[in-house]
Amino acid sequence: MVLSLALALIGSLVTVLLAAAAVVVKALTPTAGAVATAFGIVIVVFSGVAFLALLILFVVGSTLATRYRFAEKRDRHVQEGKGGERGVANVVAHIVLPTALAVAGGWNPAWITAPALAVLYAAALAFGASDTFASEFGVLAGRARSILTLRPVEPGTNGGVSVRGELAALLGASTTAVIALALYAATGVRLPGDLVLVFVVITGGFVACQIDSILGEAFENRGYLTKHGTNFLGMLSAIVIAAGLLAALGIAL
């Protein structure tokens, strides 16, 4: 449901301030910060503070993961951006689908039920966290293997997976699910069930991360997809997987 004018203005102001802070600490480029602000305002207006808070925590977690042992990543030329900042393409790839879900659920509940919206939105961000953690921690692994052929590849190669990266991916999806559950419970968001939320969000985010790796090796390495196109499709697959799981459990979408 669309927020009241007062809450919408407060949420919008918070979004502007947080995006500005992200630019100041060089987590986002100025243009990416402006884009994130616009999408964040739409999310909080249409779906509420819990959805915005989950997005913000995703950005914070991603930034911390990106900065982890950053000097080492830079020495190996596998860092994000020049100094760890994320640009417009990265922001758009990770925020368009969650925003679309937020607008659909807030504009017309007949398009998607509130419990389903909460789960699908969290699953989308769980993929983002899973993928980011897998990349930022996995790139520091001593060795990696192709997800398709199992042949040894350099850590950081598209489609390369490692034990460290897989554990990090699971951690990213799991923490997103737990944080989403806490935020939704604190703000009264309707859910299909606590265990359902956690199971579907973790499964959707983690499995989609594997799909992202497959797309990276099969298509991105051959120039058929960009990195951000791969991320977009990976997030879309997380939403589809989560929707399929809800339907299989008999929960209305």
Q: Write the pLDDT tens digit of every residue in 200-240.
A: 999 999 999 999 999 999 999 999 999 999 999 999 999 99
User: What is the tally of structural domains in the chain?
Assistant: 1
Beta-carbon contacts of 147 under 8 Å, excluding residues fewer than 6 positions away, are: 159, 160, 161, 210, 213, 214, 217
Residue 59 lies in a domain: yes
Per-residue pLDDT, averaged over 169-192, amounts to 95
In a domain, 253, yes or no: no
What's the whole-model pTM score?
0.92
Domain of 234, in residue numbers:
5-248
Share of the chain above pLDDT 90, in %: 55
| Amino acid 51: pLDDT | 93
Residue 100 pLDDT > 80:
yes
In a domain, 158, yes or no: yes
Residue 193 domain-assigned (yes or no): yes
> Is the residue at 134 inside a domain?
yes
Q: How far apart are CA 253 and CA 225, in angstroms?
A: 30
Task: Quickly state the pLDDT bin for 140 (edges 50, 70, 90).
Answer: confident
| Mean per-residue pLDDT over the chain, rounded | 89
Sheet holding 144-146, edge to edge: 152-153, 144-146, 160-161
Beta strand 160-161 pairing with 152-153:
unpaired
Q: How confident is the model at residue 17 (pLDDT cuts 50, 70, 90)?
A: confident
Choice between 139 and 27, residue whose per-residue pLDDT is larger? 139
Please report, rounded to a whole number, the percentage of residues in the chain having pLDDT higher than 70: 94
Residue 211 belongs to a domain: yes
Does residue 185 sit within a domain? Answer: yes
Residue 98 falls within a domain, yes or no?
yes
Write down the residue that tokens 């951000």 correspond to.
Answer: 228
Quote the CA–CA distance of 253 and 242 in Å, as a whole number. 10
